[in-house]
Every structure is written in C-alpha cells, then in structure tokens.
C-alpha cells in the first residue's frame, strides 16, 4: 500500500526516524558537564545488543551517540542519544533514531538501565522480542514472534518480487529489499508509531525518505502479518512487488509526485505480466463505471488515506493503476518511466507537457474514456 514518507509532505512518517526526545528530565535536573562516562555506558549497551538480541542480524554497525545528559543526583541520570546502525549489504547510509536512556552509577561506573524510544516515537523490532533472520537470495527478512517457516515464505515471495520490479524499473536501485515481520497487527503499529487500527486491512507498508540519495539507508517493507496471512499466493506476491516498487523508485519520488502516480506505478509494476483483465483487477472501480459513475478527475492524495472507506480507497488505487496502464499502452513503458522521473523534479503539469505532449485536462479526459473502454463490459 501507500509508501510512508519521511520528508516533504509526510504520508505518516518513517518507522526508523524516531522523534526528538522531550520531557525526559525530572524537575531540578542539571546538565552533566562531561558526557564521556555516559557515552562509555552507551557503547557497552550497543555491544551487549549486538551480541544478544541482535546477534543474528548482519550488522555493519550499531552505535549510540550521546547528545545530552541530565543528572538526577549523584548516581542517576537521563540521556538523549542518537542511534545509528547499518545492515550489511543493504544500508549504504546509517539508519538513525533518537532514544531515551536512563542510567545509574554502580561501583563508580555508569550503566544503562533503560533504553526506550523517545516519547511518542516508534519502537524497534528488537524491542518486541528476539529477532529471527531469514536471508533470501535478494531479500533479508527480520521477524519477531513469527515462526521460521512463515518468514521463509515471505523471503521467497520477496525474492520473486525483486526481479519483477527490476523488469518494470530496470535501473538505479539496489535490487534487494529488507522486510520486517512483527508478531501482530498491534506490533506493526508499534513499529510505525501509530495506532494499529488504521492498518487493520493493510497487508504491508514501505518506509523511507523520498528522494534519498546513494548514501541513504535502505527502505523497510513492514508486513502486517494478520492481513498478509489471509492473502493467496498471488496476493502476497502482488503486495510485496508493490511495496518493493516503492523501494526501487524512492530516489525519483519527491514531494511533487502525486500519490496517484506513485501508487499507480507500484500497482502497474505488480500487475505487469499478469493475465488478469482490467475488470477483474479493478472490481470496485468497474462497478462504479458500469453504474455510470465515472470519476471526474484523477484521484487526489486525500483519496489514498488509510482512514477512507474501503471501497473508495480501492477505487483510488484502481484508478491510479489504470492511469499508469494507459500511459504504458498509449505512450510506451519507457515513456511511463520517463514521466515518473520528470514529475519528481518538475511536477505533473510540466511532465505531462514535456514527456507525453498533453495537458492535465486532455489526459484526464483520455483516462475517463479509457475507464469506460476497459471496465464497462464487466
């Protein structure tokens, strides 16, 4: 489903970008003049995690950088720290997050006694239980509270998704994907830092920073194990292909990219090569078109809200997919990819003119007619 953006117009915030710590100090606390002893304690905490809960995760690095300390007396303190880590083979840049640490001094040395997200910030997967690792040929699946067989099945589906995405978006991405599988819907919400209820029917989401450069960390695909489990084999492949497309197109997705294009392109990549007819792949929109209710305009960003009515949300995705399918059929797949890239830097109006030689009004009219042609027969 919809990608979650860290920057520009935020579509829900990224799971690994933790909020700045606020309100962690007690009344009367005073700044510590020297953070070195507390940094040493944080370093020991990092080493303990790497040899404990994270021992199986292929980490290039995992470290804390203490940024601020407040003394609560001679032997107690709280600290703000920035977490930085990289997964070997997947993260060119460090994933970062801010943490709230509590420390006590024992035997003359400071020790971390509590390591939590900043208030209101998302949790990390390792905070939900032991992390199990499954390495696919093109994927890395990290799970908590899920049996190994299910994680292997997710890895197999992700491995099939990667070449499908590479065929739709041939260049400019790493051709590998990191998938997180929490133990439940509630724990998925914890990773996203949001109420789980909003994701009840959502099989997966992708987190990341739009327009991330070569040094950016890899995006994470986060699976809702409850919604994902009820899908058939085709549905599971579709979901992971859709989400992996967001990973592939990230560097060419910006605040100028409308959701109808980013979501429609991801669905186009997932449907590409399948034998399903448009009426079968777009049932909700097909019902509307056959009843005479043809959308007057392309879906707007608000139509893709997870809080929307399920039927309306489905129509938005289906209409977006068919807009991209129209471009691929009428102008060609290479032109569709060029259009996507150009929208990221210049916006849809300019891209329609420069890449497709049309206007918003003309394209919308052609799209509405395309819906009638493809969906009216049922």
Is there a single domain that holds both residue 69 and residue 140?
Answer: no
Q: Where are the beta strands (DSSP E) in the chain?
A: 3-5, 30-31, 59-71, 76-87, 95-106, 109-117, 132-135, 139-143, 177-181, 204-208, 220-223
The position carrying tokens 């040493």 is 40
Is there a single domain that holds both residue 229 and residue 265?
Answer: no
Q: What pLDDT is recorded for position 213?
A: 66
Q: What pLDDT is recorded for position 210?
A: 74
335 assigned to some structural domain: yes
Separation CA 323–CA 238 (nearest Å): 18
Look up residue 205 and give its two tokens: 């989401």
31 assigned to some structural domain: yes
12 assigned to some structural domain: no
pLDDT digits 0-9 by tens, 244-258? 999 999 999 999 999
CA atoms lying within 13 Å on the CB side of residue 50:
17
Number of separate domains in the chain: 3
For residue 314, what are the contacts with CB-CB under 8 A and spacing of at least 6?
A: 283, 284, 285
Is there a single domain that holds both residue 237 and residue 142?
Answer: yes
201 assigned to some structural domain: yes
Distances (CA, A) of 28 to 33, 71, 100, 103: 15, 9, 18, 17
60-64 mean pLDDT:
96
147 or 218, which is more confident: 147
For residue 261, what are the contacts with CB-CB under 8 A and spacing of at least 6?
A: 320, 323, 324, 339, 340, 343, 348
Is there a single domain that holds both residue 151 and residue 108?
Answer: no
Is there a single domain that holds both residue 128 and residue 210?
Answer: yes
Domain end (from 225, 251, 277): 251
Distances (CA, A) of 123 to 8, 50, 182, 184, 223: 23, 17, 11, 14, 15
Residues of the domain holding 374: 256-378
Q: What pLDDT is recorded for position 299?
A: 97
CATH value at residue 175: 3.30.2010.30
Q: What pLDDT is recorded for position 25?
A: 33
pLDDT digits 0-9 by tens, 302-354? 999 887 788 999 999 999 999 999 999 999 999 999 999 999 999 999 999 99
Is there a single domain that holds both residue 236 and residue 282?
Answer: no
Least confidently predicted of 25-29, 77-81, 242-246, 264-268: 25-29
């Amino acid at each position: 489903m919809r990608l979650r953006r860290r920057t520009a117009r935020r579509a829900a915030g990224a799971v690994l970008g933790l909020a700045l710590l606020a309100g962690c100090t007690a009344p009367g606390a005073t700044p510590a003049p020297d953070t070195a002893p507390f940094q040493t304690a944080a370093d020991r905490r990092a080493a303990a995690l790497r040899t404990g809960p994270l021992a199986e995760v292929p980490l290039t690095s995992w470290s804390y950088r203490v940024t601020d300390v407040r003394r609560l007396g001679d032997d107690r303190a709280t600290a703000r720290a920035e977490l930085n880590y990289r997964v070997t083979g997947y993260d060119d840049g460090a994933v970062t997050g801010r943490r709230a640490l509590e420390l006590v001094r024992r035997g003359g040395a400071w020790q971390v006694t509590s390591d939590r997200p900043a208030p209101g910030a998302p949790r990390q997967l390792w905070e939900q239980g032991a992390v199990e690792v499954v390495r696919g040929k093109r994927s890395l699946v990290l799970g908590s509270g899920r049996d190994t067989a299910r994680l292997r099945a997710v890895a197999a589906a992700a491995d099939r998704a990667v070449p499908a995405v590479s065929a739709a978006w041939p260049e400019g991405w790493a051709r590998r994907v990191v998938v997180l599988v929490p133990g439940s819907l509630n724990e998925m919400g914890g990773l996203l830092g949001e109420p789980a209820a909003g994701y009840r029917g959502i099989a997966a989401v992708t987190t990341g920073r739009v327009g991330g450069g070569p040094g950016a960390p890899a995006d994470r695909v986060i699976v809702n194990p409850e919604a994902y489990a009820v899908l058939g084999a085709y549905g599971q492949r579709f979901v992971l292909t859709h989400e992996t497309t967001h990973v592939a197109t990230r560097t060419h997705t910006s605040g100028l990219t409308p959701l109808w294009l980013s979501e429609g392109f991801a669905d186009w990549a997932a449907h590409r090569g399948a034998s399903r007819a448009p009426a079968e792949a777009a049932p909700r929109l097909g019902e509307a078109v056959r009843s005479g209710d043809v959308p007057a305009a392309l879906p707007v960003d608000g139509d893709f809200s997870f809080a929307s009515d399920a039927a309306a949300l489905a129509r938005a995705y289906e209409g977006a997919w068919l807009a991209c399918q129209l471009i691929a059929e009428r102008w060609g797949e290479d032109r569709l990819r060029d259009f996507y890239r150009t929208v990221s830097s210049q916006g849809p109006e300019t891209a329609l003119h420069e890449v497709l030689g049309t206007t918003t009004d003309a394209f919308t009219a052609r799209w509405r007619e395309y819906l009638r042609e493809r969906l009216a027969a049922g």
